[in-house]
Amino acid sequence: MIRDLSMPPVIPSGRIGDSPQPVVPAADGLFLRPWEAADAPVFLAAYQDDAIRRWHTRRPSNEARVLEWFSAYRRDWAAERGGHWAVVAGDGAVLGRTALRGWDFGDGAAELAYWVLPAARGAGVATRAVEALTVWAMEEIGFHRLHLDHSTLNSASCRVATKSGYLLEGTKRSAAVHDDGRHDMHLHARTRES
């Protein structure tokens, strides 16, 4: 998007997309890396999990669609619209997903998203991934504000946001559609000052 700003953008254009998407280290041997074609089966299987399906209405239908999503993720990076990472254990096993979407370089803002596979839940994987991505986005790239939202019924996501330093800013009434109807959404955010 072209915007006529009275101030220079918080993040200069070309700062991210001209470089390869990085591998981002996280605590306790986890790391975030770009999705690879070999990850398609585990990615597709994640969207068969009832908990992930409950909170995500956009779902790939087969491995070919997953590969199309991965291509779109690479295009997002090159166009400086977003970054999408697999959350990976030290042994290479994919444990989850995290993403930073909707980049606004003028304001220095973006939206964070995440999910974790059933076998990795309850071990702090999402929190460590969110913390690592937050540090990378704010300290290495220069984002000023990151936000995320989740259904008010999704207490696990709320705990991850809070543990990761994302303050609850309020409730967006009837803001998202899930399989069971409209949901109110909690909005959490973290800024450089918080």
pLDDT tens, 93-109? Answer: 999 999 999 999 999 99
> Right CATH number for 24-191 from 3.40.50.300, 3.30.160.40, 3.40.630.30, 3.40.50.2300?
3.40.630.30
Q: What is the pLDDT of residue 7?
A: 79
Separation in Å, CA 31 to CA 92, 128, 131, 142? 9, 9, 11, 20
Q: How far is CA 154 from CA 55, 130, 157, 166, in A?
A: 8, 17, 6, 15
Q: What is the mean pLDDT of the chain?
A: 94
Q: For residue range 161-175, list pLDDT tens digits in order.
A: 999 999 999 999 999
Dihedral, CA of residue 82, residue 86, residue 87 and residue 91, to nearest 10: -150
Percent of the chain with pLDDT over 90: 87
Q: Which tens digit of pLDDT belongs to each residue from 135-148?
A: 999 999 999 999 99
104: left (phi over 0), alpha (psi -120 to 50) or beta: beta
pTM for the whole thing?
0.93
**Which pLDDT tens digit goes with each residue over 145-163?**
999 999 999 999 999 999 9
**Rounded-to-integer distance, Cα 23 and Cα 137, Å:** 13
Residue-range domain boundaries for the chain: 24-191
> Looking at residue 6, what is its pLDDT?
72
Q: What is the pLDDT of residue 16?
A: 86
pLDDT at residue 1 tops 50: no
The pLDDT of residue 4: 65
